[in-house]
């Protein structure tokens, strides 16, 4: 600002301007690391799925696994197969197909082998499966899986309740799974649960998230999905968590997985996009939830995510109307309306 213009202000106004300038300088320092991360993200990518342009967001569809696993009524295998095929036909390049877990603990996934045998494997589409232990991995390999997912938790209490062991013990178990998966030539994706909050411990220290995420990366995961398992996170908290995790792992290797319990999922995803994340997990029709969190309403609906992304200039490669029809169909199969507001609006026209 020139000396002539400065002289035209009163002393009081100058004082207020100086105060505001100090605040803006502070904000500039706060967001400088975010700008650096975005710059880094726009360069080369290490993930085999990551497109060259940063305007592309890869959607990881988790509905067939995470969305259906807690359904009390057993869903016919042919319905699951049709759902997976329809999602791939709608343009989704990653469809998490099933989970190789004990049917004693997750009866809904008891037909994992049959699902993998019957789906139509579309060129260019990945069909990862969850393998929480070596036994599950061996079954997945026998079923022809080419990519597996493993998961740890950032909360000690959640780890004990969910898999009956400490975080450190779970990491040792997962390392054995990862070693065998790598030996078989499989890709490995990692999940971290409870990145924003835990139903038993409350808020989670972002450093605990970073530690588990780094452990998963070190054992061979090409990408780490950060899950707000009970949907308590808010944009500022999600960005604060990402800032800590990004000190240990490149943002290019991070994905965000938001539940919508408090209606914050889309806002949290957008905050993650601003930080540089370009991979988003979601579930068609908003299927799914956390059995350990009372009132958790489930995953964010893929239809709502795609609508938000495309309206903000991002590309997804997904046919939104076909996706909405698929969500409406599976919801009718389950005997309830779709959980996607976008789908309800689109299909009412």
Active-site amino acid positions: 290
Which string of b and e fits 13-42 if b means at least 16 CB within 10 Å?
eeeeeeeeeeeeeeeeeeeeebeebbeebe
Q: Which residues contact 182 (CB under 8 A, 6 or more apart)?
A: 188, 220
Q: What's the CA gap between 94 and 37, in Å, rounded?
A: 25
> Other C-beta atoms within 10 Å of 314: how many?
18
**Cα(81)–Cα(2) distance, integer angstroms:** 69
Handedness of CA 181, 183, 185, 190 (dihedral sign): positive
The radius of gyration of the chain's CA atoms, rounded to the nearest angstrom, is 22
**Nearest one of 316, 212, 318, 216 to 273, comparing CA atoms:** 316
CA distances from 256 to 49, 55, 337 (A): 16, 16, 26
DSSP string, 257-302: EEB-TTS-HHHHHHHHHHHT--EEEEBGGG----TTSTT---BPBH
Residue 56: DSSP 8-state: B
CA distance 288 to 62: 9
Q: Kindly list the strands in the beta sheet with 129-130, ordered across the sheet, starting from the edge strand earlier in the chain.
A: 94-95, 58-61, 279-282, 254-258, 223-228, 187-193, 147-153, 129-130, 98-99
Q: What is the largest CA-CA distance in the chain?
A: 80
């Amino acid at each position: 600002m020139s000396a002539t213009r400065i002289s035209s202000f009163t002393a009081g106004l100058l004082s207020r301007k100086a105060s505001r300038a100090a605040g803006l300088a502070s904000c500039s320092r706060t967001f400088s690391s975010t700008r650096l991360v975005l710059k880094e993200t726009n360069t080369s990518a290490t993930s085999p799925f990551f497109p060259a342009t940063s305007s592309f967001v890869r959607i990881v569809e988790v509905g067939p696994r995470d969305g259906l696993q807690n359904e009390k009524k057993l869903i016919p295998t042919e319905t699951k197969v049709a759902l997976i095929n329809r999602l791939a036909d709608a343009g989704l390049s990653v469809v998490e197909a099933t989970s190789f877990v004990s049917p004693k603990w997750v009866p809904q996934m008891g037909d994992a082998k049959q699902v993998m045998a019957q789906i139509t494997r579309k060129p260019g589409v990945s069909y990862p499966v969850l393998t929480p232990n070596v036994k599950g991995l061996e079954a997945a390999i026998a079923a022809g899986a080419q990519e597996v997912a493993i998961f740890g938790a950032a909360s000690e209490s959640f780890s004990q309740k969910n898999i009956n062991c400490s975080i450190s013990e779970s990491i040792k178990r997962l390392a054995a799974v990862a070693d065998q998966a790598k030996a078989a030539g499989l890709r490995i994706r990692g999940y971290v649960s409870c990145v924003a909050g835990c139903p038993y411990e409350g808020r989670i220290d972002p450093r605990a998230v970073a530690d588990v995420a780094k452990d998963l990366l070190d054992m061979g995961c090409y990408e780490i999905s950060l899950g707000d398992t009970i949907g308590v996170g808010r944009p500022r908290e999600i960005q604060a968590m990402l800032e800590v995790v990004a000190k240990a792992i490149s943002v290019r290797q991070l994905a965000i997985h938001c539940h919508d319990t408090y209606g914050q999922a889309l806002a949290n995803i957008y905050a993650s996009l601003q930080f540089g994340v370009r991979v988003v997990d979601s579930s068609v029709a908003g299927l799914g939830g956390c059995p350990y969190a009372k009132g958790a309403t489930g995953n964010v609906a893929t239809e709502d995510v795609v609508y938000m992304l495309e309206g903000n200039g991002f590309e997804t490669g997904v046919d939104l109307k076909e996706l909405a029809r698929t969500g409406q169909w599976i919801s009718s199969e389950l005997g309830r309306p779709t959980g996607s507001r976008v789908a309800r609006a689109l299909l009412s026209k």
